């Protein structure tokens, strides 16, 4: 992989990327509040399970398939995958998260050379035009950014998963709460599991891609009315 491709992926995976990922816990805060992830070991186990049960089966396959679609300029496929991501968000919070991060990443892309104006316009159409593209989602916007790096798809998925892991660890540090050393131990556990999750995601097709995590949906709904919270989801 070219140095420039690697650095672009590192940039996309960085928590400093201004797309708002730091403001979401993806229900971890509700899991802490209901004593399901109230210690370091529980939070670590929760996130590892979330990686394999949701990311590897849903977002990561969608990113991989969308990268191929962006590189082939397959606009109907891009619209189909974007609609699938929206349809599988099981609560208002989770849908708002993917829409907000998707829009923010598109805004970021407007100031860089990693995507063409036509590609950005396609995903930003918000229901306009022949494709009737719905709101842009984060996985499909990330796929657009990653596709232009010319990095192999597997490396793109590793970057996506690591960026997710770093944001979730920071959420755990604040919500449980935990110290920085505990956070690093959780991140170490996640990074050990990410390669196998990515390899599984690469084997997933349209018939096996799925989004089925009922406890996350329940906790997300509870989080919307949680008495005290730090995160938007």
What is the mean pLDDT of the segment spanning 29-52? 95
Q: What is the mean pLDDT of residues 11-33?
A: 90
- Is residue 19 in some structural domain? no
Burial of 82 (0-12, 13-18, 19+ CB in 10 A): buried
C-alpha torsion sign, points 148, 67, 160, 81? positive
Quick one: tokens of 150? 């010319």
Is residue 191 in some structural domain?
yes
- For range 91-111, the mean pLDDT: 91
Q: What is the pLDDT of residues 1-16, one digit of tens each?
A: 788 889 999 999 998 8
Count other C-beta atoms under 10 Å from residue 215's C-beta: 16
Residue 4 within any structural domain of the chain: no
Q: Residue 44, SS3?
A: helix
Q: Is residue 229 part of a domain?
A: no
132 vs 34: CA distance, rounded Å: 40
pLDDT band at 41 (very low <50, low <70, confident <90, very high): very high
Answer whether residue 36 is part of any domain: yes
Instruction: Among 72-81, 88-97, 125-134, name the one with the lowest average pLDDT.
Output: 125-134
Domain that holds residue 151: 31-223
Q: Answer yes or no: is 20 within a domain.
A: no
Based on the structure, what is the number of domains in the chain? Answer: 1
pLDDT greater than 70 at residue 129 = no
CATH of the domain at 63: 1.10.4190.10
Confirm whether 146 is domain-assigned: yes
Any idea how long the chain is?
233
First to last CA, the chain: 35
pTM of the predicted structure, to 2 decimals: 0.93
In our burial notation (b when 16+ CB lie closer than 10 A, e otherwise), range 58-74 reads bbbbbbbbbbebbeeee
Q: Which residue has the higher pLDDT, 231 or 44?
A: 44
Domain contains 63: yes
Model pLDDT, residue 120: 82
């Amino acid at each position: 992989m070219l140095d420039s491709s690697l650095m672009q992926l590192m940039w996309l995976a960085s928590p400093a990327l201004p797309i708002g990922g730091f403001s979401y816990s993806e229900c971890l805060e509700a899991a802490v509040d209901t004593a399901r992830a109230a210690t370091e070991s529980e939070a670590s186990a929760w996130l590892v399970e979330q990686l394999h049960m949701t990311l590897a089966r849903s977002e990561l396959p969608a990113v991989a398939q969308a990268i191929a679609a962006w590189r082939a300029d397959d606009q109907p496929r891009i619209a189909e995958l974007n609609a699938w991501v929206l349809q599988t968000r099981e609560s208002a919070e989770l849908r708002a998260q993917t829409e907000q991060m998707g829009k923010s990443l598109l805004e970021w892309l407007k100031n860089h050379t990693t995507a063409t104006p036509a590609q950005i316009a396609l995903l930003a159409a918000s229901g306009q035009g022949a494709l009737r593209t719905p709101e842009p989602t984060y996985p499909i916007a990330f796929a657009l950014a990653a596709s232009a790096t010319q990095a192999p798809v597997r490396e793109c998925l590793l970057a996506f998963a690591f960026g997710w892991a770093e944001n979730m660890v920071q959420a755990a540090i604040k919500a449980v709460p935990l110290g920085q050393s505990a956070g690093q131990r959780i991140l170490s556990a996640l990074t050990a599991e990410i390669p196998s999750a990515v390899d599984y995601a690469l084997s997933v097709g349209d018939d096996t891609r799925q989004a089925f995590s009922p406890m996350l949906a329940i906790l997300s709904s509870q989080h919307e009315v949680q008495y005290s919270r730090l995160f938007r989801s």
